[in-house]
Structure 1
Amino acid sequence: MLIHEIKHSARKSLSGHWANTALLTLFSFILQQLVPFQFERTVSGSWLSQATPWYTQPVEFVYSLLLVPFTVGITWLYIDLVRGQEPKISDTFHSYQSFRLTLKLVGTSLLVGIYVLLWSLLLIIPGIYKGFAYAQTFYILKDHPEYSINEAITASRELMWKKKWKYFLLNLSFIGWLILGIITIGIALLWVVPYINASNSVFYNDIANDQGLALEPEDPNTPTALS
């Protein structure tokens, strides 16, 4: 698919669901940004204080790890949406029902982060390049939960072979929308972020179908409905 076709497919999949995905984006922002910010201000004892206790960063690091399954759940919600299934916002928390799955997702996030960091130690560009290579890892784990962490990372690297430039251009094409989000003090991002997430999901679904990695829904004609 061409980039404009990917974005058109993303908008089509979001039709009728913009409000719910915007609410999900807001909820995600609160958990990932406002909660840590409020925590820092609380333990500092003052909104004007620049000093924070030594334990602040370790606590926030653990908190970020605990949010990994939720963040992945958002990614999986969008891939279900673009495939014409019926994802629910509550589905973003389903991974927490399995300790093994939660541990696997956290481990995957850590390992991918370590790999990207190690490549970044060489130069920034190799780190970005590898970040693109590993970008499909969590999508692959959704379609193939039997894969080990390294198998999913390897599959992502293989899937992104000669696809990284297109992936870069796809995300670069949203620069105008992101600027609009800044101008509107973040309000527009409530709709821009779902647009980007859905587009990236369409991108994965397209290249994964080409390689026979994607799992098709049982009934592609099933109408979508977020609740």
Structure 2
Amino acid sequence: MNDDLFMTRAEMKARAKDRLNHPGVRLKLALALILPVVIMLILNIVVGMGLKQVMDQVTSLSDADFINRVQQATMDTQKKSLFANLLTFYFFTGVSLTTLDVVRNPDRPLRVFDIMFKLFNSTYFFSMLIMYVLVTLIVGVGSAFFYVPGIIFGLGLRLVYFLLYDARQRGDNRGAFTIMGDSWRLMRGYKADLLVMYLSFIPWYLLSALTLGLAELYVTPYIQATIAVFYEQVRIRYAADNPDSDAADGPREGQNHMDD
């Protein structure tokens, strides 16, 4: 594993591409993303139509009525966004964790349905929900202070879903705060590396925006696979430097990551 301990950013991206290029992998991941991408597109259309209706009635509404309509439209949008964000979180995270499986074993069998609903079971659903709420709150509070603390918190907690996934795969029921602490320890000294990694994807983010999210079908598996490789690098390095710690434990030896 020595060659895995010193991969550059370019090598991590190359490893991700290599894994995605195995027969059927990229296609099945893209198909699993169609539903969340459609949800995002529909939400954007609905929000746009709602705002257009309000703007069309500007001349016929009093100032007070206009303000009330805008507030109501904003509340409706927030409710729809919350529901859509939660749904897409489960779908996108399912794809993200599947890329981790693929990085470790590119020849493992994949089924689109299993990828899409990977987290919709008792093993992961509530644990992931609790983690999502906690991370969102922590990053949100940090972002309220000139954004920088939020960015730091987000980078430090970026590995929580991978760590939670590996823990549950091992039958380890450690809590959300323990896993967040593990992520923070693993990311010590690597936050800047991950930030630069994300910045290197800016052209891909722009492509997704220009295509109204359609490019996500290609971009998301690539980015998530690269982050999965990054996670494996950090985990392996931490385990090598801290052999007595269980913070970076991966799957059980010989486990094939097939869900029950």
Could you say which TM-score interval applies, normalised by the shorter chain? 0.7 to 0.9
TM-superposed CA distance for 1:182, in Å, is 4.6
For residues 42-191 of structure 1, the aligned pairs below 5 Å read 44=50, 48-50=52-54, 51=70, 52=73, 54-84=75-105, 85-91=108-114, 92-98=116-122, 101-145=124-168, 146-182=173-209, 186-191=213-218
TM-superposed CA distance for 1:184, in Å, is 5.4
Tell me: CA distance 1:26–1:62, structure 2 relative to 1, closer, same or farther (3 Å): closer
Hey, what does 1:19 align to over in structure 2? 27
Aligned length: 216
Post-superposition CA distance 1:167-219 (Å, at most 9, x none): 11122222233344455565544322211111001100111122232226727
**Could you tell which deviates more after superposition, 52-61 or 138-147?**
52-61
Give the alignment's TM-score, normalised by structure 2: 0.72
Letter in 1 for 2:183: S
Indicate conservation of the 8 Å contact 2:96/2:221, yes or no: no
- Residues of 1 paired with 2:187 and 2:196: CA distance? 14
- Residues of 1 paired with 2:81 and 2:212: CA distance? 25
- Residues of 2 paired with 1:219 and 1:191: CA distance? 28
TM-superposed CA distance for 1:82, in Å, is 0.8
Unaligned runs of 5+ in 1: 221-227
Letter in 2 for 1:61: L
Post-superposition CA distance 1:70-104 (Å, at most 9, x none): 33212211111111133433223132222x73222
Give the alignment's TM-score, normalised by structure 1: 0.81
Indicate conservation of the 8 Å contact 1:83/1:217, yes or no: no
Hey, what does 2:10 align to over in structure 1? 4
Tell me: CA distance 1:182–1:111, structure 2 relative to 1, closer, same or farther (3 Å): closer
Indicate conservation of the 8 Å contact 1:132/1:167, yes or no: yes
Unaligned runs of 5+ in 2: 1-6, 55-69, 240-247
Flag the structure with more relative contact order, 1 or 2, with Cα contacts below 8 A and sequence separation at least 6: 1
- Residues of 1 paired with 2:212 and 2:119: CA distance? 32
Q: State the SS of the aligned residue for 1:122.
A: coil
TM-superposed CA distance for 1:161, in Å, is 0.4
Tell me: CA distance 1:103–1:39, structure 2 relative to 1, closer, same or farther (3 Å): farther
Letter in 1 for 2:53: S
Tell me: CA distance 1:113–1:185, structure 2 relative to 1, closer, same or farther (3 Å): closer
* Partner residue of 1:198 out of 225, 238, 245: 225
Q: State the SS of the aligned residue for 2:140.
A: helix
TM-superposed CA distance for 1:29, in Å, is 1.1
